[in-house]
Structure 1
Amino acid sequence: MMTTKPTQRPERPWFSAGPTAKRPGYSLAGLPQDLLGRGIRAPEVVARFAEALTMTRRLLEVPADFQMLYVPGSQTGAIEAALWGMLGQRPVQVVAFENFGKQWETAVKDRLKLDPEVLSAGWGDLPDLSRVDPKKDLVFPWNGTTAGVRVPNADFIAADREGIVICDATSAAFGMPMDWPKVDVVGFSFQKALGGEAGIGVLCLSPRAVERLDSYTPDWPLPKVLKLTDDKGRFDRALATGVVVNTMSVLTIEDWIDAVEWGLSVGGLAELHRRTDANFAVLEAWVERTPWIDFLANRIETRSTTSVCLKIVDPRVAGLDEAGRYGFVTRLKALLEAEGAAFDVESYRKAPAGLRLWCGPTVETADVEAVTPWLDWAFETTAAEIAA
Structure 2
Amino acid sequence: MTLQIPAHLLPSDGRFGSGPSKLRSQQLARLTASDSPLGTSHRQQPVKQVVASIREKIGDLFAIPDGYEVLLGTGGASLFWDAITFCLVESRAQAAVFGEFSGKVVKAITRAPWIDGVDIKRSAPGGVALCESAEGIDTYLYAHNETSTGAISPVSRFGGVGALTLVDATSAAGGVDVDVSQTDVYYFSPQKNFGADGGLWLAIASPAALARIQKLTSERWVPDILNLQLAVENSRKDQTLNTPAIATLLLIDEQLTWMLDQGGLSAMAQRTERSSSAVYNWATSRNDATPFVTQPQYRSPVVVTVDFDESVNTAKVSKILRSHGVVDIDPYRSLGRNQLRIGTFPNVELADVEALLACLDWIIDHKK
- Inter-CA distance 204–336: structure 2 relative to 1 (3 Å threshold): same
1:198 aligns with 2:198: yes
**CA contact 1:125–1:149 (8 Å) conserved in 2:** yes
- Measure the CA separation in 1 of the matches of 2:218 and 2:122: 26
Where 1:71 maps in the other structure, the secondary structure is strand
Where 1:123 maps in the other structure, the secondary structure is coil
Where 2:332 maps in the other structure, the secondary structure is coil
Structure 2 alignment gaps of length 5 or more:
none
Aligned to 2:327: 343
1:171-210 CA distance string (max 9 Å, x none): 1111112122221011111111121122111011101101
Once the 2 structures are TM-superposed, how far is the Cα of residue 49 of structure 1 from its aligned partner? 1.4
- Inter-CA distance 130–74: structure 2 relative to 1 (3 Å threshold): closer
- Measure the CA separation in 2 of the matches of 1:177 and 1:381: 39
- Measure the CA separation in 2 of the matches of 1:42 and 1:130: 43
- Measure the CA separation in 1 of the matches of 2:15 and 2:92: 42
1:99-141 CA distance string (max 9 Å, x none): 01111111111245632011111111122x3634275111110
In the comparison of the two structures, how many residue pairs are matched? Answer: 360
- Inter-CA distance 210–346: structure 2 relative to 1 (3 Å threshold): same
Aligned to 2:283: 287
Structure 1 alignment gaps of length 5 or more:
318-327
Structure 1 residue identity aligned to 2:260: L
1:220-259 matched pairs, under 5 angstroms? 221-230=221-230, 236-259=232-255
1:342-381 matched pairs, under 5 angstroms? 342-353=326-337, 354-380=339-365
1:67-108 CA distance string (max 9 Å, x none): 111121122223332332111x23211111100111111111
Where 1:229 maps in the other structure, the secondary structure is helix
- Measure the CA separation in 1 of the matches of 2:268 and 2:239: 29
1:97 aligns with 2:98: yes
- Inter-CA distance 298–352: structure 2 relative to 1 (3 Å threshold): farther
- Measure the CA separation in 2 of the matches of 1:369 and 1:276: 13
Once the 2 structures are TM-superposed, how far is the Cα of residue 4 of structure 1 from its aligned partner? 10
Structure 1 residue identity aligned to 2:154: P
> How high is the sequence identity, in percent, across the aligned residues?
24
Q: Which moved more, 1:138-147 or 1:38-47?
A: 38-47
Aligned to 1:321: none
- Measure the CA separation in 2 of the matches of 1:81 and 1:211: 15
1:330 aligns with 2:315: yes
Aligned to 1:133: 134
- Inter-CA distance 153–224: structure 2 relative to 1 (3 Å threshold): closer
1:316 aligns with 2:311: yes
**CA contact 1:176–1:273 (8 Å) conserved in 2:** yes
Where 1:118 maps in the other structure, the secondary structure is strand
Once the 2 structures are TM-superposed, how far is the Cα of residue 216 of structure 1 from its aligned partner? 2.5
Once the 2 structures are TM-superposed, how far is the Cα of residue 333 of structure 1 from its aligned partner? 1.0
- Give the TM-score normalised by structure 1: 0.86
Structure 1 residue identity aligned to 2:198: A
Pick from 71, 74, 87 the counterpart of residue 72 of structure 1: 74
Aligned to 1:325: none
Aligned to 1:143: 145
1:298 aligns with 2:294: yes
Q: Which moved more, 1:157-166 or 1:145-154?
A: 157-166
**CA contact 2:94–2:131 (8 Å) conserved in 1:** no
- Inter-CA distance 29–176: structure 2 relative to 1 (3 Å threshold): closer
Once the 2 structures are TM-superposed, how far is the Cα of residue 63 of structure 1 from its aligned partner? 2.5
- Measure the CA separation in 2 of the matches of 1:5 and 1:35: 43
Aligned-CA RMSD value: 2.3
Structure 2 residue identity aligned to 1:316: S
Structure 1 residue identity aligned to 2:61: L
**CA contact 1:280–1:359 (8 Å) conserved in 2:** yes
Structure 2 residue identity aligned to 1:185: V
- Measure the CA separation in 1 of the matches of 2:289 and 2:219: 49
**CA contact 1:72–1:201 (8 Å) conserved in 2:** yes
- Measure the CA separation in 2 of the matches of 1:27 and 1:116: 41
Once the 2 structures are TM-superposed, how far is the Cα of residue 241 of structure 1 from its aligned partner? 3.0
